[in-house]
Chain A
Amino acid sequence: MILDPLVLQVGGGLRASVPALILNAGLFAKAILGVLLVMSVYSWAVLWNRLGLYSRVERADRRFLQSFRRLRPTADCRLVCEQHPRSLLARVALAGQRTLDQHAALGEDSPVLRYEVTQRAMDRSASEETAALERHVGFLATTGSVSPFIGLMGTVWGVMSSFLNIGAQGSASLVVVAPGIAEALIATVAGLAAAIPAVVGYNHLVGRLREFGHATGEFTSEFLDRRMGNVAA
């Protein structure tokens, strides 16, 4: 005997968009997204801040070098150094000039010793100043390496609960599985979005820091040559 025809309908008309996925995500996924947002905000802040700082320092360095090279070799460079407070090289030069003056006032040491002591003082000052420039840059490396993993954790969690959902609904149709998977993948997207700029920025900043290191090394030898060129020989 034939019964009444039945209308079987599965799902139908599912509305999905990225914001809706984020809003409907579970508490764990939201927490992951929050952590990634904080990391992204801070790493962009570091990137912005350091880029501005390095540009200012480089400009000040160029101006300082021009002024410094116009000076006579025996003239006191303290005034020029103090006119360029932002310049990394000016601070290194100031440290060298101070050491030079101290030992000149004592007048006991041999010129070779004064040369070496001045060089060490300038190296010390250069490494201190470079360390100040490097501050916070490590966070970019942390973000670049860790945030994909955090995102991945969110995704794995989401996929896991999605499979649990399949078990609960007793059906593995696309309608049941797909939203959960899409929701889970948002975390990976967020992790990558935080990591990629951080890695690019970190490599760029490290390159600029290396240039600062070279610049201070070159400047130290230039300073010593101009001030005490006759001693080293």
Chain B
Amino acid sequence: MFGFISRRIAMALVVMFVVALISFLLFRFVGDPVNQMVGIETTPEQREALRQRLGLNDPILVQFFRYILGAIQFDFGNSYQFKQPVADLIGRRLPATLELSFASAIFALLFGIPMGIYTGLNRDSLLSKMFLSVSLVGIALPTFFIGILFIFFFSVTLQWLPSFGRGEVVALGSFWDTGFLTISGLKAIILPAITLGLYQMTLIMRLIRAEMLEVMRTDHIKFARARGLPNRSVYYIHALKNTMVPVITITGLQLGSIIAFAIITETVFQWPGMGILFLQAVQNVDIPIMAAYLLLTAFIFVFINLIVDILYVVIDPRLRTERGRA
């Protein structure tokens, strides 16, 4: 088990190194940092002096290590469009994105798991068939269009919920603004969180359904029934427990894509998070923000993957004796 985990950590480090290299190459070569910092009237000599001062004439390897060193201390350089440190810009918007992702993950689990159990146990009931066909449509509808439909029905037509922004936020400490503590903040998060979590919800539902169908056929369930255990304890103790391993894996991995898909949801609902910042950076070729976002999301994904891999071994004893599945 120790060997497996250390192999996984090594792999994660390699991925991070590659991503850091790509991010550095982007930062250094796609946009010229000097051109972005000076005006037209700057003389070539002044440019050269700036180049020297920024260390752009050093060997590439030295620059790369300086970049990594900076990144570890959250120094990603200055944004081209805002002329501010990228770390500040991202830091200010990170809480909004994390709160949205958290809310939608909770939504997906809270609805996905019970729906999965229900459809798995009653596979032929009318309600199950309805859940499944709705989930098929949910997969076919692109996230942004679901968001637009929600806005159209709940904000424009019924006027129940706000269609943009975070509502009122309360400052927690110096760098975290939360929308969870005000009524308008809670109302504002409902539609974006459902939009973002809908796909994950259908995924979790289908997964649990498939697992339930499988587990219900196994011997230990038949044995539990033979012992005369009530249905409820067979379903929720013996069966559900055995479906949890893949659910944890998929949910963990989906957390990464929730953060990526937040870009779309944030755009639809004008949610002031990291995703909008990244999108603006892509549109305006603001390389430092793109490079930093790449590095940051890669770190989050790789970290989640690693945790999921380790959890997998910890939860499922069958995997401990096997050699790692690389």
> Does chain A bind chain B?
no
* A→B interface (CB under 8 Å): none
